[in-house]
A and B are shown apart, each in its own frame.
Chain A
Amino acid sequence: MAETTNNIRLLRAEKNMTQEELAERVGVTRQTIIAIEKSKYVPSLELAFKLCKVFNKKIEEVFHYSF
């Protein structure tokens, strides 16, 4: 089964950023960040790019898609 995973929790820890701060930076609720980190929710392309911009990473460095 196809699955989308991400390194957001790791990248956030590297930047010493809380879920609340990240949520505020990208304009979503903290619940959404929690769901994305747990790979329970796959963000829209727009939100994915916003998250990548915060961490200054390419999209493939943040999100992984396995077939």
Chain B
Amino acid sequence: MSYKAFKIARILIAAFIAAIISISITIENAYLAITAVVVGTAAMLLVKRNVKALLVDEMVKTISGKSALVAYTVSVIALAATSLSLVFANLSNRESQAYNLGIALSYAVMIEMLIYSAAYYFYNKKYGRDDE
């Protein structure tokens, strides 16, 4: 399979998943959505396996790394700011949904930062270790 055919197949699979998920939301059927995701992922793996062209090289990895850093930074700052505003705006009413949402978002940010720290520690150990 050529790269062009792969791109078309990828779009078709994504459209299929989106359509089935939309239908499953409309008819309120979670199993249908889960099935669609599983089938879509399996189809994507099958298609990827049949691609002869090179899909990932060092430039793609560099771009992915930079994009991931931007996504991480933006999401952490945005979520942290949102959670702090929700918590401090609702300090007087700690039973409110907004306050609890703020707390949940704080935990989400903390988990995201923990994952980043763990990954950073792992790669720093892998590439930055001084064996001498």
Which B residues are in CB contact (< 8 Å) with A32? 57-60
Residue of B nearest to A41 (CB): B59
User: Which one of A28, A41, A44 contacts B54 once the chains associate, using CB atoms below 8 Å?
Assistant: A28
B59 touches A35 (CB 8 A): yes
Main secondary structure of the interface of A (DSSP, over half): loop
Chain A residues 20-53 with CB under 8 Å of chain B are 23, 27-29, 31-32, 35, 41, 43-44, 47
B57 touches A27 (CB 8 A): yes
Number of inter-chain CB pairs below 8 Å: 25
> Least Cβ distance of A32 to chain B in Å?
4
Which A residues are in CB contact (< 8 Å) with B57? 27-29, 32
- Complex Cα distance, B59 from A13, in Å, reads 23
> Least Cβ distance of B110 to chain A in Å?
35
Which A residues are in CB contact (< 8 Å) with B58? 28, 32, 43-44, 47
Chain B residues with CB under 8 Å of chain A are 53-55, 57-60, 62
A-B contact sample (7 more), CB < 8 A, given A32-B58, A35-B59: A29-B55, A29-B57, A31-B59, A41-B62, A43-B58, A43-B59, A44-B58
